[in-house]
């Protein structure tokens, strides 16, 4: 989409407000790429609170990748509980990457039943675009004693 390409150029110039103006009309129409851009840009221009409107729009439109981006931003900001909510919401909407993240988190906490469930969910919902995530999950299954999922 041309607006997103122009927004990317604006971001390269640190013109985040300009980038928002370019993609916001498309995001309001539910465009997946524009919603992802809004979830990245709005925290930089208007803060986390304003971003929630856009991630909710992404949820309504089934744009799980925007939910995962928001979860990552929240995690970096130390808002772990809300990040977990968005990872879970995306995983339950069949986002393989979010399911993998939750699987790794569960394994780190020693909850191997949950890790098994989330890794299986990741492998079941993975598309060709998730090859990197699937490879990482498969590479780590043995170390968690989950050989049977490989």
Q: In which residue ranges of the chain is pLDDT below 50? A: none
Predicted local distance difference test score (pLDDT) of residue 10: 82
Are 1 and 34 in contact by the 8 Å Cβ rule? The answer is yes
Q: Are the CB atoms for 76 and 44 separated by under 8 Å?
A: no
51-77: per-residue pLDDT in tens?
Answer: 999 999 999 999 999 999 999 999 999
Q: What's the pLDDT at 147?
A: 79
Question: How far is the CA of 138 from the CAs of 26, 93, 98, 104, 145, in angstroms?
Answer: 37, 21, 15, 12, 12
pTM score, two decimals?
A: 0.87
Helical spans, DSSP H, in the chain = 2-12, 16-28, 32-45, 48-60, 64-76, 80-92, 96-108, 112-125, 131-141
What does the pLDDT read at residue 150?
66
Would you kindly state where each structural domain of the chain is located, as residue ranges?
Answer: 1-79, 94-150
Q: What is the pLDDT of residue 123?
A: 94
Residue 12's pLDDT is: 86
């Amino acid at each position: 989409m041309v607006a997103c390409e122009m927004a990317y150029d604006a971001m390269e110039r640190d013109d985040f407000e300009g980038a928002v103006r370019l993609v916001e009309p498309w995001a309001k129409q539910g465009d997946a790429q524009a919603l992802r851009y809004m979830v990245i840009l709005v925290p930089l221009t208007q803060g986390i609170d304003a971003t929630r409107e856009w991630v909710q729009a992404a949820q309504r439109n089934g744009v799980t990748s925007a939910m995962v981006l928001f979860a990552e931003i929240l995690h970096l900001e130390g808002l772990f509980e809300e990040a977990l909510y968005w990872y879970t919401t995306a995983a339950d909407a069949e986002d393989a990457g979010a399911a993998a993240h939750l699987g790794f988190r569960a394994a780190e906490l020693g909850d191997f039943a949950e890790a098994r469930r989330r890794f299986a969910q990741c492998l079941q919902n993975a598309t060709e675009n998730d090859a990197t995530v699937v490879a990482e999950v498969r590479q780590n299954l043995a170390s968690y004693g989950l050989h049977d999922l490989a």
